[in-house]
């Protein structure tokens, strides 16, 4: 078929994160891209090796927080100052600025509310963690004690990759068939 590339899918399974990190380094220096790594817990220091950039979720949280802060301000200005100014024990109510001290708690709570929920939702949707989603790990043992390197690479590199996975200490190397992708242009 023209314009299509066939890739082999290989799973390198480890029983510890140290040899897995070693294998990732070796694959990287051999110019083989690690498609993904699945592990029972976060492996620290793996991100730069397999080319994961720092997530921007914290920036999202900041923006959501600002939104929450703004919405709360707008709401309280509209309800308490503009639409129906209420005289509570003679406290100033004719302009937002004079009322600010009393509005700080709700502004703060609303900032946290929007930042927290906004970020959590973004995280879940960005990772496609939704009710009913199918398990994303290719091997069910990776939520217990196994660590898995997922490779998708052209046929001719498969032998070299398997060798590298094994020398780093893989307990299993499983061939999981092939998949076809359009050629990158």
Partner 1 sequence: MHAESQIREPLILGNKTYTTITDDIIRPVEGKTGKAWYVLFTISTLTFLWGLGCLAYTIGVGIGVWGSNNGVDWAWDITNFVWWIGIGHAGTLISAVLLLFRQKWRLGINRAAEAMTIFAVMCAAIFVLFHTGRVWLDYMLFPLPNQFGSLWPNFNSPLLWDVFAVSTYFSISLVFWYIGLVPDFAAIRDRAISPVVKKIYNLLSLGWGGSAKHWSRFEEVSLVLAGLSTPLVFSVHSIVSFDFATSILPGWHTTIFPPYFVSGAVFSGFAMVLTLMLVVRRVYGLQAYITIKHVEYMNIVIIVTGSIVGVAYLTELFMSWYSGVEFEQYAFLNRATGPYAWAYWCMMTCNVVSPQLFWFKKIRTSLVATFLLSIVVNIGMWFERFVIIVPTLCRTFLPSTWNMYHPTFVDIGIFTGTIGMFGFFFLLFSRYFPVIAQAELKTILKISGEQQKKDAAAHSHTHVHAH
Residues lying near partner 1 in the complex (CB under 8 A): 18, 36-44, 46-47, 50, 52, 54-55, 57-58, 61, 75-76, 79-80, 83-84, 86, 88, 91, 99, 102-103, 105-106, 108-110, 112-113, 115-117, 119-120, 123-124, 126-138, 140-145
Q: How far is the CB of 155 from partner 1 (least distance, A)?
A: 25
Please, which residue, 125 or 183, has the CB nearer to partner 1? Answer: 125
Output phi, psi for 101, to 5 deg.
-55, -40
Write down the least CB distance from residue 29 to partner 1, Å. Answer: 18
Q: Closest separation between CB of residue 153 and partner 1, Å?
A: 18
88 or 171: whose CB is closer to partner 1? 88
Closest approach, Cβ 182 to partner 1, in A, equals 23
* Residue among 42 and 184 whose Cβ is closer to partner 1: 42
Q: Which is nearer to partner 1, 129 or 183 (CB)?
A: 129
């Amino acid at each position: 078929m023209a314009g299509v590339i066939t890739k082999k899918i290989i799973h390198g399974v480890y029983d510890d994160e140290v040899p897995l990190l070693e294998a990732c380094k070796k694959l990287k220096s051999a110019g083989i891209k690690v498609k993904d790594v699945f592990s029972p817990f976060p492996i620290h220091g793996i991100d730069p090796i397999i080319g994961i950039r720092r997530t921007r979720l914290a920036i999202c949280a900041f923006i959501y927080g600002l939104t929450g802060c703004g919405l709360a301000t707008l709401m309280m200005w509209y309800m308490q100052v503009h639409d129906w100014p209420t005289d509570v024990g003679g406290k100033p109510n004719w302009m937002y600025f004079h009322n600010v001290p009393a509005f700080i708690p709700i502004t703060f709570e609303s900032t946290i509310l929007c930042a927290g929920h906004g970020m959590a939702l973004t995280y879940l949707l960005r990772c496609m963690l939704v009710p009913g989603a199918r398990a994303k790990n290719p091997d069910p043992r990776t939520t217990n004690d196994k660590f898995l390197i997922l490779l998708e690479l052209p046929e001719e590199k498969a032998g070299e990759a398997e060798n590298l996975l094994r020398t780093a200490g893989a307990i299993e190397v499983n061939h999981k068939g092939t998949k076809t992708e359009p050629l990158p242009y």
